[in-house]
Amino acid sequence: MPVHLEEVDLHHVGDDKVVTVNDSHFHRMSISNPDLNHLAHDAANATVAEHKMSLLEGLKTYPHAVGWSVLFSTAIVMEGFDTILMNNLFAYGPFQKTFGVEQADGTYQLTAAWQSGLSNAPLVGEILGLMINGIVAERFGYRKTIIGALSLVTAFIFIVFFAQTLPTLLIGEILLGVPWGVFQTITTTYAAEVCPVALRAYLTTYVNLCWVMGQLIASGVLRAMVTRNDNWGYKIPFALQWLWPVPLIVGVLFAPESPWWLVRKERREEARNVLCRLTSKDRNADFNIDDTIAMMAHTNALEKAHSAGTSYSDCFKKTDLRRTEIVCFAWAIQTLCGSTFMGYSTYFYEQAGLSVEHAFTMSMAQFALGAIGTLSSWLLMGWFGRRTLYLSGQFIMFIFLLIIGCLGIISKGNAAAQWAIGSMLLLYTFTYDATVGPVCYSLVSELSSTRLRGKTIVLARNLYNIVGIITNVITPRMLNPSAWNWGAKAGFFWAVSCALCFVWTFFRLPEPKGRTYGELDVLFESKIPARKFKTSIVDPFMSTTARRQSMVTLPDEKHAKATAEKIESV
């Protein structure tokens, strides 16, 4: 007769030595909060069903959740479009002539200071938008918040479209950054909360694909405009941003709210109705809506008993401090691993010696490879997990950055070296978008607690933006011939930065693959080292007799399955 894990002596199971971690804090919580025990049975059933659910079963059970998540995430296309558009306009003749300064050779260039200012302007607005989103979204819900942000985008595009001076353009970019900051977190959070474990990684990393799609569209539009010599060459790309907000607003009006948000607001019946809308009528036989709502309520009660608050300050208390650190640094690594090169790709190619036409063509190829890389990450995550991809991606990118730096030494007047640099940057982009780029979105949504997810992601994205401001100040100076003029030799700088990121990832980043949010809560509360997350057997539910939880950490991953089977058969 199978018994609960806690009723077994887990110090020795057969010939395998294992370590038992009993958390008295959870024991006290379960005694003081009977609601946890009341929900545990149904929540356990839902957890088992989620673990058994395959990708195809998840798609069959949650087809509407996939559609609504894709709709929300499409808002990120606009941010990816404008971010790359602005940085690549620095290499575009009509834009340079309108806003730049005449050089000694008769050409025009924006000064490094204004390049940094225009690149950083959206990031400044995003910091404000992110902080607002962390409060507004939790109070009013995701639907109302994103509709308001889309409405602001529609209005602020007028400023950049009609801008005739650099200060006006700067103000427009700052204001556009406010709603973009909302998009950055709310799309990832919504994707994480409307889908089961089987779909979570795919829908959260789709956000990165939307970013790449925006970059690719912007590069294609600029490549089409490269032969124009008038101001419409850069005004038309600005105007194209009006194509997105209105259709998205109409779609979001009919979208369901996040069931997790409704559960946090103690509106469980509404959450149940929403879950019916997110799932198909022809559901998986193991799937039960009431059990799934119980799992959400159980996880919420567990986290509420541990940390009742949902303010920003709560992100820095108890185990949430570790989770905040991990999520923040995981997102900062997206920039610190050297990805700034990609944002300035066209300008970088031009300064490396390629013609304007070839520079824009290479940028299009770069972002097309980025899209393919993101799609590849969906397969790679299923095989290797998030942590392994993050580590291996950084190591490979470190090698490419070293090669780019070495080629930068001999690139002046050397056509072969210039094309080799371009090729290395293409390979770097593919690696980034197959590993760090998309996997980051999955990590930040999975490793934060459900009650503090929105605010934790806000803090993480704000650190990303602050790091981005710093890199946007130094990168133009690295590349600009009127400043430091490092060119491709900047690869050495980013190679060192990437190596430091690799070291942090190895020691601090855990593996959330296949874990429910309740199981992750137990792992963090029990202070399990990051490298042992993958090889831990977790029981996040209290038994009716002992009212406590147990967890075993296996010394070797290959024994995990065998040991679990032995425990179950006791």
* pLDDT of 233 higher than 80: yes
Cα angle, residue 51 at apex, residues 47 and 56 outer, rounded to 5°: 125
Whether 74 and 25 map to the same domain: the answer is: no
Distance of alpha carbon 469 from alpha carbon 123, whole angstroms: 7
Name the most confidently modeled range: 51-55, 56-60, 340-344, 417-421: 56-60
Q: How confident is the model at residue 343 (pLDDT cuts 50, 70, 90)?
A: low
| Token pair recorded at residue 348 | 């970088």
Of the three residues 482, 508, 534, the one that is the final residue of a domain is 508
Residue 42, in any domain of the structure: no
Q: How confident is the model at residue 38 (pLDDT cuts 50, 70, 90)?
A: low
Distance of alpha carbon 205 from alpha carbon 375, whole angstroms: 9
Which pLDDT value is given to residue 18?
A: 37
Of the three residues 508, 526, 544, the one that is the final residue of a domain is 508
Residue 386, in any domain of the structure: yes
Residue 402, in any domain of the structure: yes
Distance of alpha carbon 320 from alpha carbon 522, whole angstroms: 12
* pLDDT of 563 higher than 50: no
Q: What is the pLDDT of residues 132-151, one digit of tens each?
A: 888 898 889 999 999 999 99
Distance of alpha carbon 190 from alpha carbon 167, whole angstroms: 35
Whether 490 and 559 map to the same domain: the answer is: no
Average pLDDT over residues 226-242: 87
Q: How confident is the model at residue 36 (pLDDT cuts 50, 70, 90)?
A: low
Total domain count for the chain? 2
Which pLDDT value is given to residue 479?
A: 74
Whether 278 and 394 map to the same domain: the answer is: yes
Residue 318, in any domain of the structure: yes
Residue 568, in any domain of the structure: no
Which pLDDT value is given to residue 545?
A: 33
Which pLDDT value is given to residue 11?
A: 36
Which pLDDT value is given to residue 35?
A: 55
Residue 41, in any domain of the structure: no
Handedness of CA 224, 227, 230, 234 (dihedral sign): positive
Residue whose tokens read 């950054």: 177
Q: How confident is the model at residue 286 (pLDDT cuts 50, 70, 90)?
A: low
Residue, of 47 and 523, whose pLDDT is higher: 523
Worst-scoring range by mean pLDDT, 59-73, 370-384, 406-420, 460-474?
406-420
Whether 334 and 311 map to the same domain: the answer is: yes
Crossing angle of the two packed helices 24-32 and 34-52, in degrees rounded to 10: 120
Which pLDDT value is given to residue 394?
A: 96
Residue, of 121 and 552, whose pLDDT is higher: 121
Which pLDDT value is given to residue 308?
A: 52
Whether 298 and 363 map to the same domain: the answer is: yes
Name the most confidently modeled range: 22-36, 362-376, 432-446, 468-482: 432-446
How much is the pTM?
A: 0.74
Q: Are 150 and 249 in contact (CB under 8 A)?
A: yes
Domain range spanning residue 227?
Answer: 56-508
Which pLDDT value is given to residue 570?
A: 34
Which pLDDT value is given to residue 26?
A: 44
Average pLDDT over residues 23-47: 57
Whether 60 and 20 map to the same domain: the answer is: no
Residue, of 377 and 370, whose pLDDT is higher: 377
Reported for 412-415, long-range contacts at CB under 8 A and 24+ positions apart, including other chains, are 412/353, 412/487, 413/353, 415/353
The CATH number of residue 161's host domain is 1.20.1250.20
* pLDDT of 332 higher than 80: yes
Q: What is the pLDDT of residues 295-304, one digit of tens each?
A: 888 777 777 7
The set of residues, in sequence order, having a beta carbon less than 8 Å from that of 547 and lying 6+ positions away, is 27, 30, 31, 37
Q: What is the pLDDT of residues 153-182, one digit of tens each?
A: 999 999 999 998 999 999 999 999 999 989
Q: How confident is the model at residue 431 (pLDDT cuts 50, 70, 90)?
A: very high
Q: How confident is the model at residue 381 (pLDDT cuts 50, 70, 90)?
A: confident
Residue whose tokens read 């290797």: 384
Q: Are 557 and 563 in contact (CB under 8 A)?
A: no
Whether 31 and 100 map to the same domain: the answer is: no
In this prediction, what percent of the chain has a pLDDT beyond 90? 25
Torsion of Cα atoms, 170 then 113 then 397 then 322, to 10°: -70
Residue whose tokens read 């942590």: 387
* pLDDT of 526 higher than 90: no
User: Which amino acid, residue 48?
Assistant: V
- Whole-angstrom CA distances from 63 to 49, 247, 276, 289 are 17, 21, 11, 15
DSSP letter string, 372-393: HHHHHHHHHHHHH-HHHHHHHH
Whether 427 and 483 map to the same domain: the answer is: yes
Residue 570, in any domain of the structure: no
Average pLDDT over residues 108-119: 83
Whether 29 and 78 map to the same domain: the answer is: no
Which residue in 351, 378, 360, 395 sits closest to 501, CA to CA?
395
Which residue in 69, 134, 53 sits closest to 516, CA to CA?
53
Worst-scoring range by mean pLDDT, 109-123, 126-140, 553-567?
553-567
Query: Mean pLDDT of all residues in the chain?
Result: 80
Burial of 360 (0-12, 13-18, 19+ CB in 10 A): buried
Residues in the chain: 570
Q: How confident is the model at residue 258 (pLDDT cuts 50, 70, 90)?
A: very high
The values of phi and psi at residue 17, to 5°, are -90, 130
Whether 404 and 553 map to the same domain: the answer is: no
Residue, of 320 and 348, whose pLDDT is higher: 320
Whether 504 and 548 map to the same domain: the answer is: no
Which residue in 44, 12, 47 sits closest to 543, CA to CA?
44
Of the three residues 508, 534, 550, the one that is the final residue of a domain is 508
Residue 46, in any domain of the structure: no
Whether 122 and 271 map to the same domain: the answer is: yes
